[in-house]
Structure 1
């Protein structure tokens, strides 16, 4: 399991159980406490789960299929190591927002939640904005202010100071408000305390571009832009049927 945000692997965990399989879990060192606690509660609610949940350390053994999450580099290792087993291998993904300049203050405040929840560490957190030419960021920064308290976390503040220093020393152009920086950049994955942005001229061209890069994107936050868009403020509130990477986890499990 990944460990970038708390319980990030819970959906895979519960999917394995609900499909009738036993679950063998190797946790991330960054998230080792909440899932075992929930597992004990599930065993209390449904005693039959007691024989179906195993937490392991070290090398995985005696398994029939794999759901693994890691970086793009780790995924290559996973693909080789698990090549003889049915598998879902999850790689790096990021989420983007498409703005038009007509968003309400409430929608932009929802976008602030999509950016800052879990300090932006989740693949469903927005790390990149697409904005029209001559977009006025004043309303955007005003909406972000509800999350100004993040700068009081020393780890976040250290990242903010470090990345700001790098940008200034490199003479990159960026805008900032004391706890968030925005920088024009074509990349999807932005550092902590930074959101990248890119200008667009044609909505249809942008839609075609994002569809062509769908393997790098987890969520698209927008309003009346694309069929599978996420409403502002909802990226970290997925439904049970919102499968990561658009891979039907239950469909995969029920075929094993």
Structure 2
């Protein structure tokens, strides 16, 4: 089924304006709030392919731009995903860029200022970015390690678009559109997730994303009991600490009980 993107503010318009002015964009917000989906949506809307790079501790600059390899007895240069994206005039999306090493991100500097150029020192090549190329990064500032903060000088190179979870009724719409589950069940899942998100500060965990609600709804649509689906897809992945899980279970149960009492009085 086609993935659904519902705007949650002016992020679509600002993204498009940044594209028109050839400016890089940084998407920030909690896990599963729609950052990746926005990039995919904008790729379709702007008619540009999206090259996604999942950032991690071991990501090197060579992994991004390319390297020499031995092929058939010859040493040849092979472009990395960043280089391919620049040459194709694509949208290059660095997901969770905060996870990458700082020295690896240095290759992005010349693409995020007036030069809009990628320098391949080892290949002795200079690649100017076409007008259709766009660099987009994302990360979750609320849950990054204190040892993995982006430098202010790096963040200031980007137009930053803060993102958040959809309002409950619209989040339920996404769940219904993607899974075919009925609206009442989707609403109960969202109510459960909202209660858990509000308890975030007390339990210190990463809150449930729209993504896990869609997964739970798929299970319900396939015939699973709602409580079992919520337990397996929403609660269980949040923490391996039994005490925290039990506390979250009580929060979820209370929210669902409130939903039942509200619907019974209508």
Shared fold by TM > 0.5?
no
Q: TM-score, normalised by structure 2?
A: 0.31
Higher helix proportion, which one?
2
User: Which gives a bigger RCO, structure 1 or 2 (Cα 8 Å, sep 6+)?
Assistant: 2
